[in-house]
Structure formats: C-alpha cells, structure tokens
C-alpha cells in the first residue's frame, strides 16, 4: 500500500483497506462507485497490487475518454483489414490484460450496444477480434469504476441489468471526503510534504486556522480537490508555514457564528449542540483560549486539537481576541 501512497486512518478508510485485502486474492469482479476524486482509480490499483495478479499487468481503459465507435476495437482488438485503416492485426485491452487485471474506468459510459459483448467476454472468458473468426481465450480479472449511479441507470434502462450484476459481484462504495473528515489532516500533511519536496521548499507546519478551514470545507471534488488546494498553497508559501492564502478562497461554513458570552445562561441550553457549545466554551475560558499543548482545551476535553478546532467552527465558538475569529464573517458584539 505504501508504494501507492494510500493515505487515511478513519474507520471508513480502514474498512476500505480491509475490503481490498479480502477481495484481492480472489478473481471476482469488483465495482467501485463513488463521487469524483474519492480515489476509485487508486483503489483499483491497490486491489491489483495486493492480488496474485500483480506479477502481470493492470491494463486500464477509460470508457468515457474513447469515442464509442472505437471502444470495441480498443477492448477486443482487430484483424488486419477489419476496417479501413486496419493495416495490421492489433491486440485489444482484454488480451493485453491476460493473467492480469483489466480496469474499466467510467463503465457507466460504455455504450449499450457494446455491453452484451463485454458480458460474454466476462462470463465465458472468450471473444473474437473485430473482423476475425478465431475465438480467443483469456484469464482476466475485471475491476470497474464509475461515479454514476449504475443501479439507477439499470432502472432507467441506460445500463444492462445482466452486465450490472456481473460486475457488481463485490461492490465498493468510496465515501466522500466530507464523510471521513478525520482523514483530512493526514492527507493535507501528506500532500504538503509531497508538493514541498517537488517545489524544493521546506514547510514544516499547517497553521491551526488553515487546518481547521481544510477540515471544515465540504470538498465536492474530494481528495483531488484537497490535493490541488494544497499544491496551490505550497506555491504561494514562502516561509516555514503553509500560507493562509491556501484556504482563503474556500467558502465559509454555514454555522452562524455566535460570540461566546462570559458564562452560559443555563436557561439558554436546550439542545445537545447548546450543551456542547457551553462545555467547550467553559473549558476554553479556563485555559485562556489555549487550544493545543498538554494544558490546552483539546487535552482537557480529550479531543485531538484539529477536531476541537473543527467543532468550534461548526458550533460558531470564537473569542474576540482569538485568531480563530478569522473564519467568522459576523462581528462579535
Ligand atoms: N487515499 C488516498 N491517499 C492519497 N491520495 C489519494 C487517495 N485517494 C485518492 N488520492 C489521490 O486523489 C486523486 C484522485 O484520485 P482518483 O483519480 O483515484 O479518483 P477517482 O475517484 O478515480 O476520480 P474521478 O471519478 O474523477 O476519476 C489522485 O491524485 C490520487 O492519487
Ligand atoms: Mg478515476
């Protein structure tokens, strides 16, 4: 896994790694679904690398990137003279992946008319090249990926049910980054070091408020968007701390910021969030708004520093003097 730079430690990510280990050793088809940028391709590669097939090739084909008229010859190859311009016999991706793994990316874009031929190749492990009479036999493990809802496409008759069930033997759904925020600090640090090294810089730290903004953002483009944000941030950084400009363009959180009163009025505590806000605020006042370190509020509350900062932002907790106030748009009365 390390060679593939698969970063994460959240429960959801660890469950994903367990699934990779479980499915890698068998030849069953895997269908990876998830929003854009959630890591479908890296997970497909991880399955191949963890499988006995790693001695052979992983051949990838992006069904959305190739014109539908060429997909069939790309998949299955063609004989010389099969069509105008077919000057020599050509091996398709299926044959190239023999004894290895075929990664069919963006499988939702596979044209309906090609789906029966793919189904036959998967089920019977045999196919013919375009313009050829010989039946070729291959031993290919297929991993497919899509960011479309393939189940819904089947209901809408945009994708064949038989092929869907053939591919969906072992489904893996990758959670969006906003559902595993615990992974954001690790990923951010990883990308920071990666891009700092690439750009010949030495950047030691991500400032608290930058990290909190990273953790709070919803990341619709998921890990790819986070990676790009850190790369841009590293470009803008001149000193040892990741530039605050890294997160300045990110939309602010939706929680209405509230100014923490000197002490919470018990009558104002109605919801669980009110109680959490009051308890965190009281602890912060005790520590004189020191968040990190052995005597800081995070340690007292038994939370990682970054989790506490994210909670503070979500609950709208900030002090007049705290630098955390930088996130908030509303003035403190
Ligand atoms: N767990 C991870 N650790 C480190 N980097 C990751 C991880 N998951 C994804 N990435 C990085 O995030 C980027 C997006 O990953 P990937 O291309 O696999 O996503 P995808 O789901 O296939 O996206 P799309 O649907 O847009 O094709 C890549 O640069 C990849 O290296
Ligand atoms: Mg992809």
pLDDT tens-place string over residues 160-203: 999 999 999 999 999 999 999 999 999 999 999 999 999 999 99
Q: Is the CB of 45 under 6 A from ligand 1?
A: no
| DSSP summary character for residue 330 | S
- Where do the DSSP E strands lie in the chain? 30-33, 58-62, 77-78, 90-91, 101-105, 126-128, 135-137, 141-146, 170-173, 258-259, 317-318
Q: Which of 248, 275, 294 is the last residue of a domain?
A: 248
Range among 120-134, 169-183, 275-289 rated most confident: 169-183
Same domain as 276, residue 187: no
Domain total of the chain: 3
Same domain as 194, residue 56: no
| DSSP summary character for residue 61 | E
Same domain as 188, residue 141: no
What residues sit around ligand 2, an ion, with C-beta below 5 angstroms?
40-41
Same domain as 183, residue 90: no
Q: Which of 175, 205, 224 is the last residue of a domain?
A: 175
Question: pLDDT value at position 292?
Answer: 79
Question: pLDDT value at position 3?
Answer: 57
User: Is 54 among the domain residues?
Assistant: yes
Distance 171 CA to ligand 1 centre (A): 18
Q: Is the CB of 212 under 6 A from ligand 1?
A: no
Domain region containing 319: 258-327
Same domain as 264, residue 214: no
Same domain as 293, residue 225: no
* Model confidence, pTM: 0.77
Torsion angle of C-alpha atoms 207, 212, 217, 221, degrees rounded to 10: 50
Distance CA 115, CA 142 (A): 14
Say which residues have a Cβ less than 8 Å from residue 267's Cβ, sequence separation at least 6. none
**In this structure, how many other beta carbons lie within 10 angstroms of the beta carbon of residue 254?**
8
Same domain as 183, residue 171: no
Q: Say if residue 322's pLDDT is above 50.
A: no
Q: What are phi and psi of 32, to 5 degrees?
A: -100, 120
User: Is 34 among the domain residues?
Assistant: yes
Same domain as 263, residue 196: no
Q: Select from 235, 215, 219, 222 the least CA-distant residue to 327.
A: 215
Same domain as 219, residue 107: no
Tokens 């615990």 correspond to what residue?
182
């Amino acid at each position: 896994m390390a060679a593939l730079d698969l970063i994460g430690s959240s429960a959801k990510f660890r469950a994903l790694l367990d699934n990779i280990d479980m499915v890698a050793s068998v030849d069953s088809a895997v269908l990876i679904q998830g929003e854009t940028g959630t890591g479908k391709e890296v997970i497909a590669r991880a399955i191949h690398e963890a499988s006995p097939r790693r001695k052979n090739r992983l051949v990838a084909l992006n069904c959305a990137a190739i014109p539908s008229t060429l997909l069939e010859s790309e998949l299955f190859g063609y004989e010389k003279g099969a069509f105008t311009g077919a000057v020599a016999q050509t091996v398709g991706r299926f044959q190239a992946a023999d004894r290895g793994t075929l990664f069919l990316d963006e499988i939702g874009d596979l044209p309906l008319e090609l789906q029966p031929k793919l189904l036959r190749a998967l089920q019977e492990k045999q196919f013919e090249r375009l313009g050829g009479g010989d039946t070729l036999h291959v031993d290919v493990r297929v991993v497919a990926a899509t960011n479309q809802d393939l189940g819904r496409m089947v209901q809408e008759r945009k994708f064949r049910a038989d092929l869907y069930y053939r591919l969906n033997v072992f489904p893996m759904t990758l959670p969006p980054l906003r559902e595993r925020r615990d992974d954001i600090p690790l990923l951010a640090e990883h990308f920071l070091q990666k891009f700092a090294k690439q750009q010949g810089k030495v950047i030691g730290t991500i400032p608290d408020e930058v990290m909190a903004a990273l953790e709070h953002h919803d990341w619709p483009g998921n890990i790819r968007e986070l990676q790009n944000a850190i790369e841009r941030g590293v470009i803008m950084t001149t000193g040892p701390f990741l530039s605050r400009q890294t997160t300045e363009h990110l939309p602010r959180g939706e929680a209405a910021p509230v100014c923490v009163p000197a002490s919470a009025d018990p009558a104002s505590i109605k919801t669980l969030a009110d109680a959490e806000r009051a308890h965190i605020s009281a602890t912060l006042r005790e520590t004189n708004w020191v968040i990190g370190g052995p005597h800081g509020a995070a340690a007292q509350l038994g939370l990682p520093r970054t989790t506490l900062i994210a909670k503070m932002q979500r609950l709208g907790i900030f002090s007049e003097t705290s630098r955390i106030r930088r996130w908030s748009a509303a003035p403190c009365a």
